[in-house]
Amino acid sequence: MDLPMQAFKQRVKRDFSSAAHHYHRKASWQKSVAENLLKRFNPYIAAPVLDIGCGTGFIAEKQKPLHSVTQIDIAPEMCRQASHFGPVAAMDMEALALKSATFRTVTSSLALQWSLEIDKTCGGVFRVLQPGGYFIFATLANPTLSELREVVGSEKMHPFLEVEEMEHALKRAGFKDIELQVHKERREYADFRMLLQDIKNVGATHKNGRVRGLLGKARFERKAATYKERFASEGGVYATWEVVYGIARKS
């Protein structure tokens, strides 16, 4: 049975707060996605900027000194780390406690996949944007981690939206000029354990928690062996990630 929504959010908050002290140093792939996002849509970024799901402040760090960035994240310890790069508040992306029409740009990198109510998130972003402002984001879409789903079962995985579902949510919120660029990445890991450790950092675990914890030790070892048999690579094992880079305008 899935955790109730508030319990799920508490787990997200706890897990990311626990990882905050080393996240900025170790999350190299997350940094590269944020950098790619800014490069793709740099001409559309204008202050004031809001960064949703800021983590330890990757985007605010990259935007200094060009733009001052207001940051929010659900995890208090992430906020503590991000405070080195600009103002920050602990806040749920599905309940933005911010004034309407405040920001020219809203950014978000590898956070939207945590949203269980994407309509609320997109609606909140639309509300806090000024007319003519842009929502610029990177997130994960189905079939991200299709290999893992095949081995452990979809019911043990955090759900990813289809690209079309993201587009529909943006349209329902009122956005125009929506552009979604899909980039498929095949990443390699030393073994099954390292894969699970990595995906935990970007919100790809089961709603009830860690995949490994649900499997039990003996079953985990069997699944690890199956994964290596089916999806071996020169470096160990591989997994596919579908990164969606998006931009949408508030008319």
Q: What is the pLDDT of residues 22-53, one digit of tens each?
A: 565 667 888 999 999 999 999 999 999 999 99
In this model, does residue 5 exceed pLDDT 70? no
Question: In this predicted structure, what is the pLDDT of residue 21?
Answer: 59
Tell me the two tokens of residue 94. Answer: 């599905």
Q: Per-residue pLDDT for 210 more than 90? A: no
pLDDT at 213 over 90: no
- Give residue 1's pLDDT band: very low, low, confident or very high (50, 70, 90): very low
Residue 207 clears pLDDT 70, i.e. is over it: no
Q: What is the dihedral of CA 178, 112, 237, 148, to 10 degrees?
A: -100
pTM for the predicted model, two decimal places: 0.88
* pLDDT in the model for residue 138: 98
Task: Report all structural domains of the chain as residue ranges with CATH numbers, in order of start.
Answer: 5-145+158-186+240-250 (3.40.50.150)
- Peptide bond between residue 65 and the one before it cis (omega within 30 degrees of 0): yes
Indicate if the pLDDT at residue 96 is higher than 90: yes
Task: Provide the token pair at 15.
Answer: 């897990």
pLDDT (average), residues 143-155? 90
Tokens of 124: 């909140």
Query: Which segment of 21-25, 98-102, 216-220, 229-233 scores lowest on mean pLDDT?
Result: 21-25
Query: Out of 34-38, 102-106, 209-213, 239-243, which region has the weakest mean confidence (pLDDT)?
Result: 209-213
Structure token digits, residue 144: 């991200």
| Mean pLDDT of the region 48-64 | 94
CA-angle at 33, arms to 125 and 96, nearest 5°: 20
Q: Is 69's pLDDT higher than 70?
A: yes
Residue 140 near residue 160, CB atoms below 8 Å: yes
Q: What pLDDT score does 114 carry?
A: 87
Q: What is the pLDDT of residues 124-144, one digit of tens each?
A: 999 999 999 999 999 999 999
Give residue 248's identity as a one-letter amino acid code.
A
Q: Each residue of 111-135: b (16+ CB within 10 Å) or e?
A: bbbbbeebebbbbbbbbbbeeebbb
For residue 199, is pLDDT > 80?
A: no
- Residue 71 reports pLDDT greater than 90: yes
Confidence of residue 158 (pLDDT cuts 50, 70, 90): confident
pLDDT confidence bin for 10, thresholds 50/70/90: low
Query: Does 17 have pLDDT greater than 80?
Result: no
